[in-house]
């Protein structure tokens, strides 16, 4: 799965540390505050946030390391909410990837590069109002939703928020579960999140409470039956989608089949996808 690291498949691994060369002006140098390894192939990390860095919950930004005289930067969804004083990211580890092979080694105190221009379409501004918000993700595609479920605006705008996460194995679902628990315990969203936020996890390659791809569960209606809600409808539902290229395409088709119209920052609509992660 490559959607959080794009074309992270070439180059040489270099040790992590303070940049030897001056980074370009398009990035700031930030300090790693904490790192958590969730599985052999997944980790999250938090870094300092510059005072001038503004973003909307759900956006992505370039993150990276210096590689000799040049930076290696990849698009990463910001997994922390817009109000947070720190920035959080969730990443896969690509064994031979020029960025993640080194990024997975970062420790608190290390320096990382942060782009100055966050952007993206998985934002509230790109959706028209409705009753229910679906956040549909596979793998590390949950990252922008880790931001949105911790943002009070999500609960001000919607009566019900359903976060769906499909992964190959049960252990890959842990980050999303942790984020939902954090959201429900957070005083800022804590009053609304416990009653409005629901997490629906599915595993595709291991036994679990719910199994199968999110696409299959929408098509056969099992998702809606399990949640006790009516099928997808433009009248009541809005959808944000984040995953691999094929997941985006398949969920776009299913959203359109249900009558939803794609939105953008310029023209808000009924569902949005994040094309930046197409790898």
Backbone angles phi, psi at 26, to 5 degrees: -75, -5
C-alpha dist (Å) from residue 62 to 24, 75, 109, 199, 272: 12, 4, 20, 28, 20
The tokens describing 114, both together, are 């942060």
Residue 205 is a binding residue for ligand A2P (CB under 6 A): yes
Closer of 168 and 222 to ligand A2P (Cβ): 168
Residue 142 is a binding residue for ligand A2P (CB under 6 A): no
Contact stretch for ligand A2P (CB under 6 A) within 76-84, 100-108, 119-127, 212-220: 212-220
Residue 214 is a binding residue for ligand A2P (CB under 6 A): yes
Q: Name the minimum Å distance from CB 217 to ligand A2P.
A: 9
Q: Name the minimum Å distance from CB 58 to ligand A2P.
A: 20
> 3-state class of 237 per DSSP?
strand
Residue 215 is a binding residue for ligand A2P (CB under 6 A): yes
Work out which of 167, 183, 197, 242 binds ligand A2P, going by CB under 6 A.
Answer: 167
Contact stretch for ligand A2P (CB under 6 A) within 45-53, 103-111, 124-132, 161-169: 161-169
End-to-end Cα, the chain, rounded Å: 8
The tokens describing 177, both together, are 């579960």
Q: Give the largest CA-CA distance in the chain.
A: 57
Residue 5 is a binding residue for ligand A2P (CB under 6 A): no
**Cβ–Cβ < 8 Å for 81, 118:** no
Between CA 235 and CA 195 the distance in angstroms is 22
Q: Name the minimum Å distance from CB 245 to ligand A2P.
A: 9
Contact stretch for ligand A2P (CB under 6 A) within 14-22, 44-52, 241-249, 261-269: 241-249
């Amino acid at each position: 799965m490559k959607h959080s690291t794009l074309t992270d498949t070439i180059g040489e691994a270099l040790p992590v540390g303070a940049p030897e060369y001056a980074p370009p002006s398009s990035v700031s140098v930030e300090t790693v505050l904490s790192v958590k390894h969730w599985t052999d192939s997944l980790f999250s990390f938090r870094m300092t946030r510059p005072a001038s860095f503004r973003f909307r919950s759900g956006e992505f930004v370039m993150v990276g390391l210096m590689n000799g005289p040049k930076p290696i930067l990849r698009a990463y969804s910001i997994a922390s909410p817009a109000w947070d004083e720190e920035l959080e990211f969730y990443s896969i580890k690509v064994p031979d990837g020029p960025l993640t092979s080194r990024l997975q080694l970062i420790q608190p105190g290390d320096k990382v590069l942060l782009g100055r221009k966050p952007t993206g379409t998985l934002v509230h501004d790109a959706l028209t109002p409705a009753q229910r918000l679906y956040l549909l993700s596979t793998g590390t595609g949950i990252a922008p939703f880790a931001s949105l479920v911790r943002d009070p605006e999500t609960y001000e705008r919607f009566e019900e928020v359903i976060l769906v996460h499909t992964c190959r194995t049960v252990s890959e679902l842990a980050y999303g579960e942790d984020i939902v628990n954090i959201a429900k315990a957070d005083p800022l969203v804590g009053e609304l999140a416990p009653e409005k936020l629901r997490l629906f996890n599915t595993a595709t390659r291991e036994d679990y409470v719910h199994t199968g791809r999110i696409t299959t569960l929408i098509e056969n209606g099992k998702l809606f039956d399990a949640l006790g809600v009516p099928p997808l409808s433009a009248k009541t539902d809005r959808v944000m989608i984040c995953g691999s290229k094929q997941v985006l395409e398949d969920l776009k088709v299913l959203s359109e089949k249900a009558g939803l119209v794609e939105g953008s920052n310029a023209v808000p609509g009924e569902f949005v996808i994040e094309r930046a992660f197409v790898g």
